Amino acid sequence: MLTWIQTLPNYTAYGTPLYFIYLIVAILPLSIGLYFGKRFSWYEALISFIFIFLMFDGTSYKQGLSLIGYLIYQTILVIWYFHYRQQKNNSLVFYVTVALSLLPIVIVKFTPAFVGYNSPLGFLGISYLTFRAAGTIIETRDGVVKELKWWEFIRFMLFMPTLTSGPIDRYRRFAKDYKKVPSREKYLEMLGKAVKYLFIGFLYKFVIDYFFAEQWQPFFERMAMQHAPHLSWWTVGVAYMYTGNLFFDFAGYSLFAVGISYLMGVETPMNFNQPFKSPNIKEFWNRWHMTLSFWFRDYIFMRFVFLATKKRWFKNRNVLSSTAYMLNMMIMGFWHGVTWYYILYGFLHGLALVVNDWWLRYKRKHFKIKTNAFTKGVAIFITFNFVVFTLLIFCGFLDKLWFHPFGM
């Protein structure tokens, strides 16, 4: 059986224009049903299963097996905690349950650093599914999840358009969307947005990013490596090319996911909102990978601030917020992976948030500078270049340049 699965074609989500042809044709009956006020849940489950199967067949079948095991584990854990929460609300039980939910991703992220190879538990999308599962447990603890059945949770976890790379949805928001069928006027509006997002996504991912990913970034990397292990102006070029590559690739993917979600009658939240127009680093994180940023803000930063305030760990609220910023961004750095460049990336962004808050307080107290087009332009320029610099660290090219210049 496994040999047969390995011989099947594998289709990465949104990887080729051909994938979209298959997907749009498959979704068409579902769209027609939504237009007439009907949601064909059984048909959606069928096409979701087929496309998820095609993501994890072929050479990726081991990831598919890991996905099945992971889904069973998280479903048991989340449903158990939901029923427990109806009767009791012990804090220790809550923290242990969240820790158990996070355990698989911790193992997957730390395994390469300790044993030198990837964990067999890993699969494409495990991070985003972990955020969904842990978030559902937290929402359950808060009492906002009033109803939860195992098949509804699985449907949320395996929502096909956003399975492998987000955006990261919340169970309560997703369930509210799914349980109601949009009116014809509303669905026509969603269709219009879906077409717009898909066209912009194609422009980003298959046109603009082609030049960044296939032409410009490789060229600058080759030129920079000729000067290894020393820095050069070519390295600066790598920073800007990688920034463009990351943005247009990920923003394009996110627009595809949101557009397909809209076709399926679910208003998945947006992931990017013109992040490079941000005049400071705090606003940048309100515009960049927003569903991830807001997840960390709501479930780590705010809860740490609330707990620390309740326990009176800090006398100065500025020290409290600065500690929360550092904790939040360091955890985000470790989430990306246990390497010096991911951890340093998280540290620098945490430090930047601390400095940003300090500067705003200092400016209000000591300067009477009015915001205008010039000052805003300078702020955007500084913020953008800081982001580019930290993304050069994040991408790992400096690790290759300094420590592995000959591919060793």
Say which of 230, 289, 336, 349 is annotated catalytic.
336
| Whole-angstrom distance, CA of residue 70 vs CA of residue 100 | 12
Would you tell me the crossing angle of helices 150-157 and 171-179 to the nearest 10 degrees? 100
Whose tokens are 């109601």? That residue is 180
Q: List the one residue out of 288, 258, 296 whose CA is nearest residue 394.
A: 288
| Residue ranges in 56-183 assigned as alpha helix (H) | 61-85, 91-115, 126-142, 150-157, 171-179
| Whole-angstrom distance, CA of residue 103 vs CA of residue 215 | 39
H or E, element range at 180: none
* Phi, psi of 232, rounded to the nearest 5 degrees: -150, 175
By the 8 A CB rule, do 84 and 93 touch?
yes
Q: List the one residue out of 371, 372, 374, 333 whose CA is nearest residue 353.
A: 333
Rg (Cα) of the chain, in Å, rounded? 23
| Whole-angstrom distance, CA of residue 187 vs CA of residue 134 | 31
Task: Identify whether 336 is a catalytic site residue.
Answer: yes
Three-class SS state of 73? helix
- Catalytic residues, by residue number, are 336
